Copies of this chain bind each other. A is one copy, B any other.
Amino acid sequence: MCEKFNCCTEKRLRECFGHAGGRLTGPRRAMVDFFHMEKGHFTAEEVFEKLSEKYPGIGVATVYRTLSAMADFGILKRFDFGKGKVKYELSDGHEGVRHHHHLVCSACGKILEYDDFMDEEKAFFNKIKKTLSTRYNFLIKGHSLHFYGFCQKCQKEYEKAK
């Protein structure tokens, strides 16, 4: 249960789901657990399939709904790499999750994480954010950065195709 990780206390979860009488149900606890156990990024479909083993009978609709709620509240981060399916992952600040960015393979869809330059990136983005906020009158809540190209496996095929 999430209480084991002191990043998501029951209190925090009730806050997430509980605006105006929300309930901390079995499926919701299972979803939270899932993302704390399995590290990485998953599509709704993947969550549904993997979770079905541990929590048989859960419905797709519930998975989609809960993912949305968790992402809206900030427990999950939503990614869209342009492959038609949205991916979710535990957001920064959770136990064992460091701020990171992604390398996305345009051929096979594989996603690598990196956090090599996070200090520099943070400094860089913070500076930019501050200026853009005032200059464009835009309240910045976050950013999304990823590099796309070809992973090791797909590079040869790309060279051939070209």
Binding site for B on A (CB under 8 A): 78-82, 86, 103, 105-106, 112, 114, 116-117, 120-121, 124, 128-129, 131-132, 135-152, 155, 158
Chain B residues lying within 8 Å of A106, measured Cβ to Cβ, are: 141
A120 cross-chain contacts in B, Cβ below 8 A: 124
| Cross-interface CB contact of A147 among B103, B121, B129, B152, cutoff 8 Å | B129
When distances are taken between beta carbons in the complex, the residues of chain B under 8 Å from A114 are 132, 135-136
Among B142, B145, B150, B152, the residue within 8 A (CB) of A149 is: B142
The minimal Cβ–Cβ distance linking A136 to chain B, given in whole angstroms, is 6
Contacts of A138 in B (CB 8 A): 103, 105, 112, 147, 149-152
What number of copies of this chain does the assembly contain?
2
B145 touches A145 (CB 8 A): yes
A121 to B128, CA, bound (A): 10
CB neighbours of A132 from chain B (8 A): 103, 114, 116, 147
Query: Which residues of B have CB within 8 Å of A121?
Result: 128
- Which single member of B86, B131, B137, B142 contacts A116 (CB below 8 Å)? B131
**Complex-state Cα separation, A1 to B79, whole angstroms:** 38
List, in ascending order, chain B residues with CB within 8 A of A129's CB: 147
Structural contact, B135 and A141, CB atoms closer than 8 A: no
Write out the residue numbers on chain B whose beta carbons fall within 8 Å of the beta carbon of A79.
82
A148 pairs with B144, CB closer than 8 A: yes
**Residues of B contacting A146 with CB < 8 Å?**
143-144
